[in-house]
Amino acid sequence: MQKPTNSACEGCDLNQASNLKKLGINIDNNDYVVALAGNPNTGKSTVFNALTGLKQHTGNWPGKTVTRAEGGYNFNNNKYKIVDLPGTYSLLSTSQDEEVARNFILFGKPDVTIIVVDASRLERNLNLVLQILEITNKAVLCLNLMDEATRLDIEIDDRTLARDLGIPVVPTSARSKEGIPELLKTVHQVATGEIICKPHRIKNVPKNINNAIEKLRLEIEATYPNVPNSRWIALRLLDGDERIIEAVKTGEFITE
């Protein structure tokens, strides 16, 4: 995978980031749709505000955004629409929040998904990250709250993390807008295909379960050859997720 390089061009790219034109809600004719996912209390809405300039309220409280908030911005002459998903710990249960988030990533097929994580509690946040990486290939990890991590004496090697996860990692402190220009640039590169992600897939699964997943995955691929996340669908079928069973019947997740 490629990382945003520190070439001479970076200056001009960042310059363009400063040209960032902030748009309000309700923008049509978007070139790209970006989803914003993450655990509660990771400063997700602050990132959203930093990207759009929209004054969405950011509560220090789990599960604030129940319905999706939408906004938009311009970058490199492309219009981006950005959707703030409810903060969730996981996508495996069936709570209302999780369904909203899950359905958007699966059925809404965003061009890029930004996953916001709390740098000071990375391990816990990776639970959601790994699940999202089963669903989508195009994602950027936003390593937020770097300031808090530093205060806790935590150092994160973002290069190693990017290699292990197979997606670009951008450290940010959204409250002070640090790292936001880099985030915009990376999202753009993933959206345009300049960076190709090779996301990590969940490995530590017991053998009998893995065999079952593989068997089912092959069958799904035989019926729907173009499904990018067949393995994840297999996972959900084995967990008895009724929404996904319904989707398999109608084939709605493959409609391009």
Residues lying near another protein in the complex (CB under 8 A) are found at: 40-41, 55-64, 66, 89-90, 92-95, 97, 120-124, 126-127, 129-131, 148, 151-158, 160-161, 164-165, 175, 200, 202-206, 208-209, 212, 215-216, 219-220, 222-223, 234-235, 237-240, 242, 245, 248-249, 251
Angstrom distance (rounded) from CA 59 to CA 40: 10
Nearer to another protein, 19 or 94 (CB): 94
Angstrom distance (rounded) from CA 219 to CA 213: 10
Coil, strand or helix at 74:
strand
Angstrom distance (rounded) from CA 34 to CA 241: 25
Nearer to another protein, 28 or 57 (CB): 57
List, as one string, the DSSP characters of 189-229: HHHTTSS-----------HHHHHHHHHHHHHHHHH-TT-TT
Ramachandran assignment for 165, one of left (phi > 0), alpha (psi -120 to 50 degrees), beta (any other): alpha
Angstrom distance (rounded) from CA 61 to CA 76: 34
**Nearest distance from C-beta of residue 51 to another protein, angstroms:** 16
Nearer to another protein, 27 or 122 (CB): 122
Alpha-carbon torsion (145, 37, 170, 33), positive or negative: negative
Nearer to another protein, 76 or 137 (CB): 137
Nearer to another protein, 12 or 228 (CB): 228
